[in-house]
Structure 1
């Protein structure tokens, strides 16, 4: 059984085009990974064309940074491969976020959108964490969904702070 996740970022001072431009900017992505990506974080690929954009990341999390439920299946830590895609749709953008936890039966999948709201933009995402493990899968899903939600919240804060820093200096 999958556990749902949801996330929202309100960027009152940015248009959808401006928010999208930040989210696919290589400098922003590298800075975000440096601050929040964990051990061995790296931007593996970044492509963009008329059809949209695609970014692939690798995050590393040591076993000490994992919830107890995950340490039993990943005593040496984990590596997470994450892909984000975006394409224009109407006045905004739609996308996907997919992550696979290497060497575990854990996956995270979400759909995302950037829409105009008031005088700014809103990024919304909804998805699910799935861990295919007999007996303990639900417990691990809960732990992973809490970690993913905390990371996405931290990324939202980082994004708003990044934009504010760039505008002020």
Structure 2
């Protein structure tokens, strides 16, 4: 069974986040991983395009109950009718989670992924979570670039 890696990030992203997500998707596909994402624009679309361009499989987990808003680079489309609760499906379908950039929805995916203690969570740019004393919370691996992010999952030898 192939490794599945969720790539999470905002539906509207910067050019840098797009580039990071696209390269992350490409690298994951090159390793034979299935990319799981939210199936819409921004980081999700960039990761899907990168993976699909490299011949990879991309699963989009949509918030709506139909496929009409599915991104063009998805191989498999799963309409859920769950709204933002679909974020839980995205992270639970993954053997690792890579977060690119930051938004409220992305933060929810990061939090849900961190609740799954056995799953590596890697963050490439974006928001950082700190405790009440201003110290970064542990557990999230911060990567400087897509290659480091993919490597930090520990899934590829």
- Normalised by the length of structure 1, the TM-score is 0.27
Say which structure is richer in strand. 1
Query: Which fold has the larger relative contact order, with Cα–Cα distance below 8 Å and residues 6 or more apart in sequence?
Result: 1
- Normalised by the length of structure 2, the TM-score is 0.28
Q: Which has the larger radius of gyration?
A: 1
